[in-house]
Amino acid sequence: MEAPANVMKDRLMNPRQIPSLSLGIALVAFSLPAIAQTGVAAPRVAPASIAPVAVAGQLKAPKNVIVMIGDGMGFNQLDAAGLYRYGTSAAQVAVDASTGAIVRASGTQVPELAAADVKLAVRTTQFGASYDPAAAWSSFGYVLKNPTDSAAAATAMATGVKTDNGAIGVDPNNVPVQNLTELAIATGRSAGVVTSVPISHATPAGFTAHESSRGSYQAIARDQLRSKLSVVMGAGNPWYTDNNKLRSSAKYTYLYKSDYQKLRDRKSGFTYLASKASFDKLATGAAPKRVFGLARVASTLQQKRSGTTSSTGAKRNAVPSLATMTKGALNVLDADRDGFFVMIEGGAIDWANHANQKGRLVEEAGDFLRAIAAVNTWVETKSSWDETLLIVTADHESGYLTGAGADPNWTMLTGRAGSVPAMSWHTGGHTSQLVPFYARGSAASAFTDAVIGQDPVRGPYLDNTSIQKVVAGLW
């Protein structure tokens, strides 16, 4: 397998320049032509805008599509969780900023993702922005310039259209664009969104609403309530604090008071859930047709609660986990014989990155892994990989997470199970680094035909708009 000639840079491929690192793990040195590793699809470069019709003609359409987004989950955030949970990492790389030499650790994928059929990377750029793979690995500050936010990234993944930061389900001219939940419903399927942050926050919003500004939380929640969605679940309960404590008066930050009252008074068309017991029951018991769930917390299920944030010891809120919500959502959606679409977000991974909280990062990314495991189990017991397509990816990296040390620093994360790995963040904001992409099951191979480029470190990559384009092409 050969990398495209245009990304072969002598500076990045001379094996003699690889430094000797004294790390207590097996290191495998790769020169650039070898970066298409085992388990990574052939770096086939396709035109930037793929033709959906061509995809549809070749592969059977998946009945169900499940998109799981770790917000702010770059390769290193995922590995931080893998190291903490299993003592394993899959994508650790050291790059010498002055010589460009690349050293790779031998990797073991977390079990939740090990069986993926397709393992790629994704370009996350917002409308008008670019990503230059060579520049990203020769200048440490390159990926800090002009990164996407979650609104533009969710809109790109949900609609196939690039837009400006802050925009929800609208193009750069503020024109609404059909999203994947609407497409699912238009093709006779059911649809829903699940998140560990407020239901009207940017990522679920990009899949369910059309608003010019991500800050219009209440209007976004109203879009969701007026939609034909079958599932909306997350945080954002007006009566509870970040510590799962009842407030003396409600705070209607994430939905209008009148909409909350309609939900509570059973006049919204949805079955309303709030207590942990009701979410637990939904995960295993009978399922109503439509569910709107607001866990009894203000902004996140766990990340914003009190207690230590540098380690994992703080007492957890007694609210449903992302995995429990995921099981409940699948229980509602799988009643539709025509299939469904659901977006499940580990939203507070990003919040932990913004706050540079090591303990909360491994907790949140670990909770996301548990939600992936719940999906795998559902597919294998209630559906099959022949009829269900699972995509696991991120909207962008945040925090510029690396191994411990000051910048410029492309060093490896190392560690063992049960310990929070030593690590350093290099921003409190987002970066334009490529993020991981996994696809498993029905028609997963369609994504290998959507590769648009080759990164010297991360290998072949897609554009984030390909998620909608490939699914829409298949449907």
Q: Which residues bind Zn ion (CB under 5 A)?
A: 350, 398
Q: CA dihedral in degrees (245, 246, 247, 250; nearest 10)? A: 120
* Complex with Zn ion: residue 148 or 448, whichever CB lies closer: 148
**Token pair in block for residue 268:** 């919204």
Interacting residues of 322 by C-beta distance below 8 A, sequence separation 6+: 194, 196, 301, 344, 346, 367, 368, 370, 371
* Complex with Zn ion: residue 237 or 398, whichever CB lies closer: 398
What is the residue-wise DSSP string for 258-326?
Answer: HHHHHHHTT-SSSEEE-SHHHHHHHHHS---S-EEEE-SSSS-SSTTSSS-SSSS-SPPPSS--HHHHH
Query: Shortest gap between Cβ of 146 and Zn ion (angstroms)?
Result: 15
Q: Which residue is nearest to Zn ion (CB)?
A: 350
**Token pair in block for residue 54:** 């061509």
- Please report, as a single letter, which amino acid is at residue 16: R
Interacting residues of 361 by C-beta distance below 8 A, sequence separation 6+: 77, 80, 81, 349, 352, 353, 401
Query: Shortest gap between Cβ of 250 and Zn ion (angstroms)?
Result: 26
* Complex with Zn ion: residue 92 or 165, whichever CB lies closer: 165
* Complex with Zn ion: residue 395 or 449, whichever CB lies closer: 395
Query: Shortest gap between Cβ of 260 and Zn ion (angstroms)?
Result: 26
What is the residue-wise DSSP string for 352-366?
Answer: HHHTT-HHHHHHHHH
Query: Shortest gap between Cβ of 396 and Zn ion (angstroms)?
Result: 7
What angle, rounded to 10 degrees, do the helices at 465-474 and 150-159 form? 20
Residue with tokens 């320049």: 17
* Complex with Zn ion: residue 166 or 288, whichever CB lies closer: 166
Query: Shortest gap between Cβ of 429 and Zn ion (angstroms)?
Result: 7
**Token pair in block for residue 319:** 């609210």
Nearest residue to 76 (alpha-carbon basis) of 313, 425, 373, 351 = 425
User: How far is 261 from 25, CA to CA, in rounded Å?
Assistant: 57
* Complex with Zn ion: residue 259 or 395, whichever CB lies closer: 395
* Complex with Zn ion: residue 104 or 358, whichever CB lies closer: 358
184 within 8 A of 468, measured Cβ to Cβ: no
* Complex with Zn ion: residue 70 or 415, whichever CB lies closer: 70
Query: Shortest gap between Cβ of 436 and Zn ion (angstroms)?
Result: 17
Query: Shortest gap between Cβ of 150 and Zn ion (angstroms)?
Result: 6
Query: Shortest gap between Cβ of 192 and Zn ion (angstroms)?
Result: 23
Query: Shortest gap between Cβ of 243 and Zn ion (angstroms)?
Result: 22
Interacting residues of 381 by C-beta distance below 8 A, sequence separation 6+: none
* Complex with Zn ion: residue 112 or 149, whichever CB lies closer: 149
Residue with tokens 């399922």: 287
Give CA separation, 209 vs 121, 171, 189, 215, 221, in Å: 27, 13, 18, 12, 8
